[in-house]
Amino acid sequence: MSWLTDSLREFRDRGDKLLLTLCLILSACGVVLVYSATNYTRSHRGAVVQVIGILLGVFLYILLSSVDFELFTQRSWKLLFPFSVLFILTTLTPWGVEYNGNRSWLQIPHFPTTIQPAEVAKVFFILLLAFQFSRLRERGISRPTSVFFAAGHTLFMCAVIAIASGDFGMALIYGLIFVVMAWAAGVRVRWFVLCAAVIVVAAVLLWPYLSNDVHFRRISIVIDHLTGNEATLYDQTMDTGWQQTRSIMAIGSGGLWGQGYLKGVQTQSPYRTSLPARMDDEIFAVCGEEFGMVGCLILLALLAAIIVRCLWVARQASSFQSALIATGMAGMLLAQVSINVGMCLYLFPVVGITLPFVSAGGTSLITMFAAMGAVSSIKTRSLPSWLRDRSHI
């Protein structure tokens, strides 16, 4: 048990306690909201799972604070990539579980909760991409071969997720993580402009053929809603756009201070006309209905503080690779917060992305704590590389 004692001692001396405190406060808010969101069922298993996830997450955070992730990735990158791919592909096995059209979870026999492989693999993806960019930097980060190599890695992972589980929301998160890390790595603007142009042209050419696909319908519904197109008003309110319509109604009804804890009309309603996905995708709407605009702003302020802290650690990092890891974690949080809140405000299509540290889900919560543990590890090693003790991980 000496490794545990060493980890605790290192965290006590140099670990990022401020980041852990912010994560704990935000997670506590999540438990409060999940409890309310499941109160109508008279079962609070979701809140209990959240508390267990917090305890395991804190343990993992402290443990990973003592890991040199730069050295770890350099030694094991050849194993991390195939492991990530194979782990995601396990959703195709009989253990794979489908929910809302996505086969994104594993239900292992006798295991108390489901596991989302792509959620866990996000952390490995960030580690590998940071290592990749640090290697490509030596030959020129904006050279065509460098950009295509890194982009190919990302597209391959997105394709694996889309094919194995049909979870295009998670694939989008991987893509946005790449964009943030590529920008931070110094890839020139012309590559982003070219990529955006290709996406726009592809969307225009494929739209007539894919307009009946459920994912494209979700996109078109949001566009119609924002542009005031009444031709699809039924779809916007009663069909494809039902979830988002109920969400903005809940947020709007909360006003400035909210309807009160455990008093939200839609949150506490057991009927089908109530707020759907209230404990995961739409938990921000629960906050808006019961705690009002003030509660939503507090929640967003805590999330922003965590993202800013990650970026601060990135600026203090002792190496390019470590800085990219911390930046990638910040990009992951920023992408998920923007998409989740955008879904709740009817500004973004429903793609099944959770609000970090807040939405129900043991895998998501523990993964977030692990990701922040990696950031804490970078903070503890904000020294010149030649001063580090690299004798062990």
Q: Does 80 lie in the same domain as 41? A: no
CA torsion sign for 82, 86, 87, 88 is: positive
Q: Which domain holds residue 314?
A: 1-66+241-382
Q: Which residues contact 56 (CB under 8 A, 6 or more apart)?
A: 362, 366, 369
Question: DSSP label at 233?
Answer: H
**CA 64 to centroid of chain Cα atoms:** 19
Q: Does 369 lie in the same domain as 294? A: yes
**Residue 211, pLDDT score:** 60
Q: Does 373 lie in the same domain as 257? A: yes
- Note whether residue 216 is domain-resident: no
Q: Does 46 lie in the same domain as 85? A: no
What is the distance between the alpha carbons of residues 253 and 250, in angstroms, rounded to a whole number? 5
- Note whether residue 169 is domain-resident: yes
Q: Where are the alpha helices (DSSP H) in 211-282?
A: 214-227, 233-238, 242-254
Q: Does 188 lie in the same domain as 134? A: yes
Q: Does 276 lie in the same domain as 146? A: no
Q: For 43-81, b where at least 16 C-beta lie within 10 A, e where not — what string?
A: ebebbebbbebbeebbebbbbbbbbbbbbbbeebeeebb
Q: Does 98 lie in the same domain as 58? A: no
Number of structural domains the chain divides into: 2
**Residue 209, pLDDT score:** 65
What stretches in the chain show pLDDT beneath 70? 1-4, 6, 207-213, 273, 383-393
Tokens 């990701």 appear where?
Answer: 371
Q: Does 83 lie in the same domain as 59? A: no
**Residue 384, pLDDT score:** 52
65-100 pLDDT, tens per residue?
988 999 999 999 999 999 999 999 999 888 888 877
DSSP string for 9-46: HHHHHHS-HHHHHHHHHHHHHHHHHHHHHTGGGT--HH
**Residue 233, pLDDT score:** 76
What pTM does this model have? 0.93
Q: Does 185 lie in the same domain as 166? A: yes
Q: Does 94 lie in the same domain as 43? A: no
**Residue 392, pLDDT score:** 39
What region, left, alpha or beta, does residue 186 occupy, with left being phi > 0 and alpha being psi -120 to 50 degrees?
A: left
Q: Does 265 lie in the same domain as 155? A: no
**Residue 314, pLDDT score:** 94
What is the distance between the alpha carbons of residues 40 and 38, in angstroms, rounded to a whole number? 6
CA torsion sign for 120, 121, 122, 128 is: positive
- Note whether residue 344 is domain-resident: yes
Q: Does 79 lie in the same domain as 37? A: no
Report the relative pairing of strands 96-99 and 102-106 from DSSP bridges.
antiparallel
